[in-house]
Every structure is written in C-alpha cells, then in structure tokens.
Amino acid sequence: MLLPLAPSPSAMIDQVAAAFERQDYRTAAQLLQQLSQDSPQNPWVQYYLGRLDEVSGKLETAEEIYRQLLRNVSNTKVVAQARQGLQRVQAIAKEQRTQALAQATADPSNNQLGVLVLEPVSSDRTVAAQKLAQILQIDPYTARLQLPSRGWRLYRTGAIGELRFLGQKLRAAGVECFWATLAEIHKIQVFQVSYFQHSAQARIVCQNEQGQIGSLAFNWSEVTQRAEGLLPIFEEVVDLDHRGKLKRKTQIQDYVQFCDLHLPQRHCILRLHAHSYQFQQGLITAPQPSQTTIRINWNSLVKFLDQQLSHATIWSDFTPFAETVLDQKELLGRIQSHIHLFRRAETSWDSAFHLYSGLVFARSQGK
C-alpha cells in the first residue's frame, strides 16, 4: 500500500497563502509551524511569519521581519510583499499612537507644560538607538546622536500628557528617561543660605523667596541629595579684531560654585553659593578665614558638607545638561531662577541651573 506523499514546501506555502486569504489564521499558524522547522530560510516562510505576527498585533516583531527581508532578499515578489507589509504595520502603529495620545491628553491637567529628559545609556548604544529609532520613526544614526553618553539631555518640551506617553514607550524599550512639569519645579521652595550656625543639629541663617531673613533647623538625614554646578560670570572686555581694531566683546571671566541641598520631606532646597555665603559668620569651616581666598573657603565648606552628608547622592553633571537646554529661551524664560548674582545682562545659565536642580528634585520624588 502506497503512503501519500507529504506536500512540498511550495504546496504548503500556497496553502498558507490561501489560509490568510480566508483569514483562517489558526490553519496558517499550524502550517507555518511545520514550515519554519523544514524550511526556515525560505523567504516566503519568513514573510508569512511576519504576516502572522502582524495580524496577531505583534507589530514590532512583524516590522523587524519585513525589514530583514528588504535587506537580505532579492526575490522581487517577496520584496514587494514585505514593503507593503511594512507600510501596513507603520500605518497601524501610527493610528494606535494617535488614539493613545488623544486619550493621554484628554484630561486638561495633562496639557501642563513639561519636559522629557533622556538619561545616559548604560546598555548597548546600538540596540538602544534602534529601539529609539523605531519609536520615533527616525533612522538609527539620527537616533544614536540623540542618546546621551554622559549627563542628561533635554529631549523635548510640550504637554506633559504627550511627554509621559512617549516616555513610557521609551522606558518599555529600555531607554532610560523621566519627565516633569514646570509646575512641579515652581512649587519647590528655595532658601538662600547665608551661613551655618550649628552642625550637630543643623541650623542655618537664610533668606526665603521674599527676602526675609530667619533661621531654619533640620536634621542632616533630611538631606537626600546635592545638586552642584558652576555658573559662569561674564564681563565685557576690549580686544583687537583681525584688522587690529579695538572691539568690545563679552566673555567668561570666572565661575561661581553652587550647591543645592535637597530636603524632599519639606519640599525645599537650601541653596549655597560661593559669592553669597558669609564665611566669617557662624561655623568656622576654614583656618584663619580672613586670610584665605573664596575658593579655599568654599572648598573647606564642601569638605564640611561631605563629612555631614556622606549618605546623600551628589549630582554634578550640570554643564553637559546645560549644553542641551541653553538654546531653549522660551522654556528658560518661564523659570524663576532664584539665583541672585550681580550680572550686567541676563543669562540663561541661571535658569538652566535651577531647572537642573529642580529636575533632580522632581526625579527623586517621581522614583
């Protein structure tokens, strides 16, 4: 008795095509399971596996299969089908994003102005860039340029609902990021520290946002983190141009050290900086302070803080972050810096530092 011959791969692929035509996806899946074992390299098998992922809602997997076929296969019919499949997947994904975004911004509170910040990539940058490119619908090279290797990058501003939606997709893809509203930063109280009165039970003399002078006592354990940065001081100088003529220009003459102590339980920041701290008052943090420079006194103050705050996280990547935000004039114009340096002209650096410190604060609250 003759046994019936098993259908050839070509005949089975025709059966798969017929099953897709009548939307019999269960039969198609059964046939493809056998074909993927017998003829895994067959481009038609790979194409229909992509189709199966597409109709199953696995759009990212389907897109990757279609892209691989476009890169590696020369069969014009397969290439044409893969290109159509890729277009369908992208259209479906775009529609899903549109609907999800509409839901994410339906609540009026989700229309508050916010920022989305990308964090340094700790994993494989190539993989992260591919995932970012897929989410943003851009090429991998451009996506790779968007990923910071050190410090934070201010990636986007806009309605917080939209930023949260995008941020959640990025996190799900393994791209570290966070978001915050400007309202969250505005709510943080800032006290300008004049000097420390006591160390065991920390007590400072400070000014509040209205300029009122008073004292504030706190436990060192309340300080969970420090945000540090250098703010440039600009001066107008006279220089010679290439023709030997005198010209005036603005350039950086010096930097001022800033250190913010964050007390999340009190929702406030204690701000210290080298040009306003009264080193001759309160605790003596440097030997013979009347004979030392501001820098030496400041270094002694920082050493004192290091001893008291060994438990607190230090954030000191302000400069690379500032480089990504200084051209955002409209955004920075909405931020009250709470920085009182004598300046001949306004600068975005002050608001950039307060934004950086506020984002450190908001990020820890969000975590």
Percent of the chain residues topping a pLDDT of 70:
91
- pLDDT at 3 exceeding the cut of 50: no
Angle between helices 318-325 and 348-366 (to 10 degrees): 110
Of the candidate ranges 72-76, 155-159, 235-239, 309-313, the one whose mean pLDDT is the lowest: 235-239
Rounded Cα distance, 264 and 180, in Å: 16
Q: pLDDT digits over 131-178, tens only?
A: 888 888 788 888 888 888 888 999 999 999 989 989 998 998 888 999
Give the chain's end-to-end CA distance (angstroms, integer): 72
Predicted confidence (pLDDT) at residue 242 exceeds the cutoff of 70: no
Share of the chain above pLDDT 90, in %: 52
pLDDT digits (tens, 9 = 90+) for 87-144: 999 888 888 777 776 776 667 778 899 999 999 987 778 888 888 888 887 888 888 8
Residue labelled with tokens 């230090």: 314
In CATH, the architecture of 108-184 is 2-Layer Sandwich (3.30)
Q: How far is CA 289 from the centre of its chain?
A: 41
Q: What is the pLDDT of residues 39-74, one digit of tens each?
A: 888 999 999 999 999 999 998 899 999 999 999 888
pLDDT at res. 290: 57
pLDDT of residue 150: 84
pLDDT confidence tier of residue 259, bands split at 50, 70 and 90: very high
What pLDDT is stored for residue 81 in this prediction? 92
What CATH number does the domain located at 9-103 have?
1.25.40.10
HEC string for 168-218: HHHHHCCCCEEEEEHHHHHCCEEEEEEEEEECCCEEEEEECCCCCEEEEEE
Query: CB burial class (10 A; 0-12, 13-18, 19+) of residue 50?
Result: buried
- Report the candidate in 41, 30, 26 with the shortest Cα–Cα distance to residue 7: 30
Among 2-6, 113-117, 170-174, 311-315, the range scoring the smallest mean pLDDT is 2-6
Give this prediction's pTM.
Answer: 0.75
Alpha-carbon separation of residue 313 from 48, 263, 310 (angstroms): 52, 12, 8
Q: Where does the pLDDT of residue 7 fall: very low under 50, low under 70, confident under 90, or very high at 90 and above?
A: confident
- For 178-205, write each residue's pLDDT tens digit: 999 999 999 999 999 999 988 888 999 9
pLDDT at 332 over 50: yes
Instruction: Give the per-residue pLDDT at 135.
Output: 82
How high is the pLDDT of residue 281? 87
Question: Could you state, in order of their start, the residue ranges of all structural domains in the chain?
Answer: 9-103, 108-184, 189-366
Is the pLDDT at 277 greater than 90? The verdict is yes
pLDDT of residue 284: 63
Q: How far apart are CA 113 and CA 355, in angstroms?
A: 13
pLDDT at 138: 81
Q: Is pLDDT of 5 > 50? A: no
Task: Say yes or no to pLDDT of 32 above 60.
Answer: yes
The pLDDT value recorded for residue 271 is: 98
